[in-house]
Structure 1
Amino acid sequence: MTADETLYERLGGREAIRAVVDDFYARLLADDELGPFFADTDMESLKEHQTDYLCEAAGGPAEYTGPDIRTAHLHVPFTEALLDRSIEHLLASLDEFDVTGEDREAVVGAITTHADDLLATADENE
């Protein structure tokens, strides 16, 4: 690893990030509480958007052009427990691909930075 290497490069580029995204969504879909939220979702499009988002957040060449985080999750009445459960699945996926230390924290941080927007969806679903 060199000092000027981006997180995107350290993670292995788009293909490696997509592999983590695929694993993450497999875990979410298999989860009894979270899986049903994806019943009517175009999973390929969702995975592409998530990959673009993480690639951009990691300093890669992709640009996220999907909906803003709150709008994209209006159908999910997130609670802190569901958000924590989602993060646990993300951590397990990162573990699966040996993403550790600061890189792991940076990927999780790219998601948790939107925690307030995600949790606000619960209020909008009441």
Structure 2
Amino acid sequence: MSEANEVQGPSLYERIGGEAAVNAAVDVFYGKVLEDYRINRFFERTDMAKQAEHLKTFMTVAFGGPNNYTGRSLRDGHARLVKMGLNDSHYDAVMEHLGATMQELNVPADLIAEAAALVESVRGEVLGK
């Protein structure tokens, strides 16, 4: 059987626990982000309920779940924040909170690494590079 015909295993979305896990992670994650003086200013004018729903939908797609994302591109969605000074140090803080959130929720280290690699892969788009 060729590689193209091989059946793929469960997606990261399925392996971390699906919708319930993504929802829990986003809620814990934004709690950490909003308490962090390094990055919370970027959310001062943000409807956090709407923002959380956007991130839940985006993470679902990024982690291989159902694609119901209709939001703006990462570049467009973060352009205002880039104008406010969003840079690599802020992205690093977000990555730190994502990892800590997943650890707190007892996600296995290999899945945390896989999720971090996916988030890292879009750094340039988010930062407008």
Considering the TM-score relative to the shorter chain, is it more than 0.5?
A: yes
SS at match of 2:79: coil
My pick for the range that moved more, 73-82 or 85-94, is: 73-82
The AA in structure 2 aligned to 1:80 is D
Q: For the residues of structure 2 that align with 1:42 and 1:15, how far apart are their CA atoms?
A: 22
| 1:34/1:82 contact within 8 Å kept | yes
* Bigger CA radius of gyration: 2
Q: For the residues of structure 2 that align with 1:61 and 1:97, how far apart are their CA atoms?
A: 22
| Equivalence for 1:63 | 68
Q: For the residues of structure 2 that align with 1:13 and 1:30, how far apart are their CA atoms?
A: 26
RMSD of aligned C-alpha atoms?
A: 1.7
Alpha-carbon distance, 1:50 to partner:
0.7
Query: TM-score, normalized by length of structure 1?
Result: 0.85
Encode CA deviations 1:7-36: one digit per residue, 9 max, x unaligned. 111111111111101111111110112111
| 1:37/1:75 contact within 8 Å kept | no
Any stretches of 5+ residues in structure 2 without a counterpart? 1-7
| 1:78/1:118 contact within 8 Å kept | no
Q: For the residues of structure 1 that align with 2:31 and 2:62, how far apart are their CA atoms?
A: 22
Q: How many residues are aligned here?
A: 119
Alpha-carbon distance, 1:72 to partner:
1.1
Which of 53, 73, 91 matches 2:99?
A: 91
Q: For the residues of structure 1 that align with 2:94 and 2:100, how far apart are their CA atoms?
A: 10
